[in-house]
Structure 1
């Protein structure tokens, strides 16, 4: 398949795919961080956060799949190794064992901010290229994180 099949120019698709692969890498590290938070959360907020972290990692897993499929739709291969993800990801791994529950929340909020910033940049690129399909997809991802970042800020009293 080539980009022409979906009415996009090849020269416009490459920067979009590069940005999507960077986002995909960041989502993989973010996903694993959420899993670690889910597994290792302790304390008086256990029941609330255990469920919330699971909701967030399930959403991240779906997002990862949709990102990879969009990259393939654009006619390119998605990154698919952890060495690639770790090399390009702005989001860094953390050890969640023994981590305070509110520090977990703050770390996830930082991830959300990083991902939202990346998504805004992608939406600018896709708008310039006329790639409404990618733009709509990324906008949906961003809205989910914006809402959940607000909820997490409220949870820890940072409003």
Structure 2
């Protein structure tokens, strides 16, 4: 007889869908991380010191989240994507290259947050339906943090 729940007591059918969506989020975080890293390295201009430090905060935070997402996938009983070709294939966020101007880099960060927030909200709904409090708590924390970041970076650009 096939097992209907995984090692942590969640329905296998639900966790499979969660793992697929988490892998898509993981792929997007990897591209977001690399874009932020590139902005950090290549930023120029009068906001250099401020943005150089902010982009480091962003990619450092993304790196932590990448590990948390991969470990959540493993906790659910699945394998996280782990090749850059898979990340590029599964990510909605695209590589951003050749950007050294502050406002363009911040626009790139905001575009990345838009994708991440959308995916995290989808996962929040799925995790609620699956009674997966672990994934739900992770997504709730990410959403709260990123909504504030969107407000702050939008304000930096003079947008509401």
TM band (smaller chain): over 0.9
Map Cα deviations across residues 89-146 of structure 1 (whole Å, 9 max, x no partner).
000001135x321000011101001100010001001101100110001111111111
Asked if residue 144 in structure 1 is aligned to residue 145 in structure 2, the reply is: yes
TM-score, L = length of structure 1: 0.96
TM-score, L = length of structure 2: 0.95
Q: Is the 8 A contact 1:3 1:75 kept in 2?
A: no
SS at match of 1:6: coil
SS at match of 1:17: helix
Alignment-derived partner of residue 46 in structure 1: 48
Structure 1 stretches of 4+ with a deviation exceeding 4 A read none
SS at match of 2:7: helix
**Two-structure CA RMSD over aligned residues (Å):** 1.1
More helix per residue: 1
Asked if residue 134 in structure 1 is aligned to residue 135 in structure 2, the reply is: yes
The number of residue pairs the alignment matches comes to 157
- In 2, Cα distance between equivalents of 1:136 and 1:96: 36
Alignment-derived partner of residue 105 in structure 1: 106
Q: Is the 8 A contact 1:3 1:74 kept in 2?
A: no
Instruction: Return 5+ residue gaps in structure 2 as ranges.
Output: none
SS at match of 2:58: helix
SS at match of 2:26: helix
Alignment-derived partner of residue 63 in structure 2: 61
